[in-house]
A and B are shown apart, each in its own frame.
Chain A
Amino acid sequence: MSTSALYNDQGGAEAAVEAGQESTPTSSGTGAAFGLFSTDFKKNEDLKEMLESNKESLKLEAMKRIVGLIAKGKNSSELFPAVVKNVASKNIELKKLVYVYLVRYAEEQQDLALLSISTFQRALKDPNQFIRASALRVLSSIRVPIIVPIMMLAIKEAAADLSPYVRKTSAHAIQKLYSLDPDQKEQLIEVIEKLLKDKSTLVAGSVVMAFEEVCPDRIDLIHKNYRKLCNLLVDVEEWGQVVIISMLTRYARTQFTSPWTEGATFDENNEKTFYDSDSEEKKEQTEAKPYIMDPDHRLLLRNTKPLLQSRNTAVVMSVAQLYWHLAPKHEVNIVTKSLVRLLRSHREVQFIVLQNIATMSIQRKGMFEPFMKSFYVRSTDATHIKTLKLEILTNLANEANISTILREFQTYVKSQDKAFAAATIQAIGRCATNISEVTDTCLNGLVLLLSNRDETVVAESVVVIKKLLQTQPTQHSEIIKHMAKLFDNITVPMARASILWLMGEYCERVPKIAPDVLRKMAKTFTAEEDIVKLQIVNLAAKLYLTNSKQTKLLTQYILNLGKYDQNYDIRDRTRFIRQLIVPNEKSGALNKYARRILLAPKPAPVLESAFKDRDRFQLGTLSHSINSKATGYQELSDWPAVAPDQSVRNVEVIEPVRNPSSSHTPYHSFTSYLSNCQFYHQNETSSDSESEEESSEESEKTSTDSGKSSSGSENSSSESESEQKKKKKTKKAPQKKSKPTHHLSSLMVAVQVILTNSSDHSLEEIHIGERSPAGLNIHCFNTIERLEPEASVTVSMGIDFSDSTQAANFQLCTKENQFSVSIQPAVGELLMPSTMTEQDFTKEQGKLLGMNETSATITMATANTSSQAISKQVLSVANVGVVSSSQNNFHRFAGRTVSSGALVLVSLELKESSSALLTINTEKSVMASMLLRDLKQALTQA
């Protein structure tokens, strides 16, 4: 095929496509449907040919056009066999487009889709992580039930992949598989559980999403990961943040006790702030039950706060709702500014944020009052934005600002947007009922509006005035009279009806006017609208009962007119009223009660916010936005009365980076006390168990006294009486544990410090001060605002020891005091495990001979001769990884120094009669000798 011919061909096809899309075939006049069908058919034939050609560019061209068809929603499923052949194409773009097609149509062509599966299975093993991930993505997107087992397998494998990107993809795949086959739930939960432990920030958001979708009720899976999630949160990508925050909100509501003081729950608080907010505080004081926030609860609040500065509006909103639902009352205010900032964003964002502010402002006026002016309406706002702003302004109104708000409302009433003007009048009505000082002002203002030229405004005013008068009818006969005067000029039926109703209801207050109005109405009765007629009949009946002398004839006349009205409702009503009020022999007992029936005191309508009951939904949710429960909405539970066991979260699993070959994970922990740093090595065989060393009072004392400290800490010199006293008062017992690396910098050793305040008063602003040596690189923990007595807090910090065992000294400062802390690492802690094969090990070892080799012959304790015991002992001393060995008498371990990444290779050759040759190969000869000494000690001891 020549090039020119090819172009022509394409051109023709393009034209055909064009024609097909516009469904106006120009070629034939046989009718649109036929024409469309034929071009469609022809076009696809042509595409098929292109796909089957052996030219890559032609195939690509065809696929691009097919994607165009899919985008337009046109069916191209009959091309499936031709397309699916190209799934294994080398051309990456072509392959991607085939994926797009496959995902779109696989559901409809299940059998044919199976042809592609083997390609994906192969790709899942590809060395390129990108290919692996995209294969899993497509495989899991093909909604074909028959491949569920294959998907399950792929997900499980991917969840253990080395690449965090692939693991992330597997978290997404979990949700897809779940929606395809909910029966897999149990197995999927296992994968989720595993992925929740993942430390990568890339995975965190996706797996929590999967958790929310598959098993949102399995709160127990979160416990162990709670602190990690809190700490990772800032580094997670923004979309993941939203999901994690909303999940943690729910979690916190089940695990912590309410930070809102007793008796100050939402509803009550609402009532109170209305009248006097002071009483609440008083109550708080009298109740001598101090609330101490769970440190984990505080951790969540503290770690989410910086996210208020996010550029992503969804993140800001989710933090705001977290504070609203979880923070102590006085802390919620910090979200205000950020929410107001969001009002600058797009119209749709404004809409959602305003909805949430509306709900918030009902309960907590104080939060938004300083920003009242941000809610002023501009004429360019969309109508729904305007009404929401109006709603908020009404909620914010109080005695102090009402005059400003009313002045603003006056401008709105004149707005050209009449629907908005009407809404403003309603808002004025609400202000008037809520704030008794301005009721009269509002009423007068509304009465003025009665002479407005616009009918909707007048009608709305009458309706609102009617409601207002109903709430306090005593002193307003003047207004009723005024309305009666205006009556002739008012044409809107609803308004006329409202005035008539008012006349009837309060006819005894306007005894002279009411009958006159009735007289006028009798004249115009036939020309009135139906609702007005009904009210005329009502008015007549009421007047008949109260003032029959003057109105008897008029009433008779009106009832007669009503009897022959065209509308059956009015005829019906007329008959009913006649029987009720006019006594005759048939009317019986009801007649006596007519007055009580018609003129019964009626309850005043309540004017309240439309957002009043929205707080039953969690803020920021879809359900809140549409004010009804959306599918999949998770209720926010009430605070538990008693907090569930806190220790469930107490797990700090420390795993070396990845070490599939080692049967157990080494776990190093060292404990030190404030003044005297000493490391207690603990042997942990199980990675899960927690090593909590109870710090007894005694040990602290001894540690203060002991001069063993090599770090020369401040108190080893003579201490004055008073200092010593102070010291005791503010005694803290830090416990430090090391993780191989700190998550922020791979050069640092992570140190976990548990600070316990064993003094009797709380310590504030605990932070790290000066450090020495001066260049010491420490990643500090965030300042701890406050540590209550007996409370403890776990913080993690990173220290770059630069591969030396020199102690790191720094000042631990509180608000009043400073303590110098010295941390001296054991040499084994400066390592991190490294994975390698036996071959690699021997190869590397070959490079590190001579100067770099240190060895010693040792006599092993008999208990340590089994290979398991050896691993255990070695791993307890040094943070290295086990290298699988083919020889029984050879044990090899490999690690790297944390700072410089130099290899450290440990090998142990067992000889006869429990003697063994211990060899260490590394560039760091100082380290080697120290490590050798430690290992020797560990292995020779029983």
Chain B
Amino acid sequence: MIHSLFLVNASGDIFLEKHWKSVVSRSVCDYFFEAQERATEPENVPPVIPTPHHYLISVLRHRIYFVAVIQSEVPPLFVIEFLHRVVDTFQDYFGVCTEAAIKDNVVVVYELLEEMLDNGFPLATESNILKELIKPPTILRTMVNTITGSTNVGEQLPTGQLSVVPWRRTGVKYTNNEAYFDVVEEIDAIIDKSGSTITAEIQGVIDACVKLTGMPDLTLSFMNPRLLDDVSFHPCVRFKRWEAERILSFIPPDGNFRLLSYHVSSQNLVAIPVYVKHNITFREGSSQGRFDLTLGPKQTMGKAVESVLVSSQLPRGVLNANLNPSQGTYTFDPVTKMLSWDVGKINPQKLPSLKGTMSLQAGASKPDENPSINIQFKIQQMAISGLKVNRLDMYGEKYKPFKGIKYMTKAGKFQVRT
């Protein structure tokens, strides 16, 4: 399975290596660097690279390439999924997953990698189990350890490893018992020139933060479970009950986890909460182009559209942009030709707009495509699909937990073609 792992930073240096079987020379990464050079963008490096004796499977997260070295046939998704799990674990442990964080915690990283794989086969990837094996470094703990000489490494086999609920550690205790659920929906859409929707779909997740004592058994039911077309569960969810009753019944892991991700059936019409009026023109023979963009809310059920961010990759011929935003700030990077406009909140009474001119390279011909516009936004307290949680019950423990449910709608890959 996974032979070795190399971490490569943006400038192409290997800053960490770990081998689970015999040592593989780091020169194997030369093939990766070659591919990296060929790729114009960092994202364009192919995830699977065959070399004469090995295969390199890599993922790119937080500007770090995680390059796994494989020696024989293995499902590539197996490796990719695992690498992403590694990144998630690092993020969980160190808050961020950057080169600096990894270098600072190199011992913990090594201990983690040692526990996560045995002979290249995943051993413990569940965060609850890992945290029992190796405690995450905190400032307090580091200080205590320095004074008392205790360590971050657990001495016992985590109880979860053997139990029927491997995702939950035993002996959890909280003074305040709380369970929060965030229903977050993302709209993926492509809007064409004339403003009509080419494709739009809603993907949602329910992220949970559960801090409950003991072994609580939760059930969560929806007002309208029929909306959920395709779902994937955290392993804790009892599939049979979902099949039979459309109820989520589970013993939750301790802490943060993703309970459910779902896809809202494509039959339902998707309400698009913003519209864009745009007029971007380049005239033949002139070195000026006009840029005019107005945003407005629609179908938001009275909720405010917040944190709006518009970005657009302008054509290569554009030298500079001289624009005037009615609100917020805009930046234009003349090297990458990336225009981004931080709009903030949309006020329905006074629609935000960005107007002005773009100066083009003298003598260059007019670009033949108008740039497409990517939009990000957030709408609080609303799930755009209309999904509603009916109730949340707890069994198995006596205390009364504090329960909270939050809804939010965000833009996923929301693109307007102009």
Residues of A at under 8 Å CB distance from B? Answer: 56-57, 60, 64, 67-68, 70-73, 91-94, 96-97, 99-100, 104, 107, 128-130, 133, 137, 140-141, 143, 163-165, 169, 172-173, 175-176, 179, 202, 206, 209, 234-235, 237-239, 242, 246, 306, 309-314, 316-318, 337-338, 340-341, 344, 346-349, 351-353, 371, 373-374, 376, 378-380, 382-384, 408, 411, 414-416, 452-454, 620-623, 625-626, 628, 630-634
Contact = CB atoms under 8 A, between A and B. Distances in A.
Given A130-B157, A379-B372, A384-B46, A242 B232 contact: no
Nearest to A628: B50
13 contacts: A73-B14, A128-B157, A143-B22, A175-B121, A311-B233, A316-B232, A317-B75, A348-B47, A348-B59, A352-B80, A380-B413, A382-B44, A452-B368
Interface of B: 1, 14-19, 21-23, 26, 40-41, 43-44, 46-48, 50, 55, 57-61, 70-78, 80-82, 84, 106-107, 109-111, 114, 118-119, 121-123, 125, 149, 151-157, 161-162, 164, 166, 188, 190, 192, 198-199, 201, 203, 229-235, 239, 243, 258, 261, 263, 266, 313, 315-316, 365, 367-369, 371-372, 374, 413, 415, 417
A634 B74 CA distance: 10
Contact of B125 (A235, A239, A351): A239
Given A341-B263, A379-B372, A414-B368, A625 B76 contact: yes
Contacts of B230: 337-338, 340-341
Given A309-B232, A344-B203, A622-B55, A164 B162 contact: yes
Given A56-B149, A71-B17, A346-B59, A202 B78 contact: no
B73 A622 contact: yes
B77 A378 contact: no
Given A238-B235, A414-B368, A100 B114 contact: yes
Contact of A414 (B166, B233, B369): B369
A356 to B, nearest CB: 9
Contacts of B43: 347, 382
A128 B1 CA distance: 29
B203 A346 contact: no
B13 to A, nearest CB: 10
Contact of A72 (B15, B153, B164, B192): B15
B81 to A, nearest CB: 5
B108 to A, nearest CB: 10
Contacts of A352: 47-48, 76-77, 80
B118 A137 contact: yes
Contacts of A173: 119
Given A179-B21, A378-B190, A622-B55, 6 more contacts: A143-B22, A338-B230, A347-B60, A371-B266, A373-B201, A632-B71
Contact of B199 (A96, A351, A373, A454): A373
Contact of B73 (A314, A341, A382, A633): A633
Contacts of B19: 104
A623 B55 CA distance: 10
A384 B72 contact: no
Nearest to A629: B73
A141 B119 contact: yes
User: Residue among A70, A238, A379 with the most chain B CB within 10 A?
Assistant: A379
Contact of B156 (A128, A306, A341): A128
Nearest to A235: B164
A130 B110 contact: no
A620 B18 CA distance: 26
Nearest to A624: B76
Contacts of A348: 47, 57-60, 80, 84
Nearest to A371: B266
Given A71-B18, A313-B77, A349-B80, A172 B153 contact: no
B304 to A, nearest CB: 26
A632 B114 CA distance: 25
A104 B59 contact: no
User: Residue among B18, B118, B164 with the most chain A CB within 10 A?
Assistant: B118
Contacts of B239: 234, 306, 309
Contacts of A202: 161-162
B145 to A, nearest CB: 9
Given A344-B203, A352-B77, A376-B198, A384 B118 contact: no
A521 B84 CA distance: 58
Contacts of A317: 75, 77
User: Residue among A234, A309, A318, A371 with the most chain B CB within 10 A?
Assistant: A309
Contact of A93 (B17, B60, B125, B153): B153
A100 B110 contact: yes
A349 B21 contact: no
Nearest to A306: B239
Given A165-B157, A165-B162, A346 B80 contact: yes
B198 A373 contact: yes
Given A137-B118, A341-B263, A626 B313 contact: no
B385 to A, nearest CB: 15
B98 to A, nearest CB: 16
Nearest to B151: A93
Nearest to A246: B75
A57 B149 contact: yes
A68 B106 contact: yes
B261 A311 contact: yes
A165 B415 contact: no
A337 B229 CA distance: 9
A172 B232 contact: no
Contacts of A622: 48, 55, 70, 73-76
Contacts of A68: 106-107
Nearest to A209: B121
A349 B81 contact: yes
A678 B330 CA distance: 83
B119 A313 contact: no
A337 to B, nearest CB: 5
B278 to A, nearest CB: 15
A625 B74 CA distance: 11
Given A316-B232, A376-B199, A631-B71, A454 B368 contact: yes
A107 B22 contact: yes
A96 B153 contact: yes
Contacts of B201: 373-374
Nearest to B153: A93
A373 B191 CA distance: 12
Given A73-B26, A143-B22, A169 B118 contact: yes
A454 B59 CA distance: 34
A130 B47 CA distance: 36
Contacts of B107: 64, 67-68, 97
A202 B163 CA distance: 10
Contacts of B21: 176, 179
Contacts of A238: 125, 235
B55 A626 contact: yes
Contacts of B40: 383
A364 B149 CA distance: 63
Nearest to B39: A383
B47 A92 contact: no
A65 to B, nearest CB: 9
Contacts of A621: 73, 75-76
Contacts of B1: 209
Nearest to A175: B119
A235 B240 CA distance: 13
Given A129-B157, A130-B157, A382-B44, A206 B77 contact: no
B50 A626 contact: yes
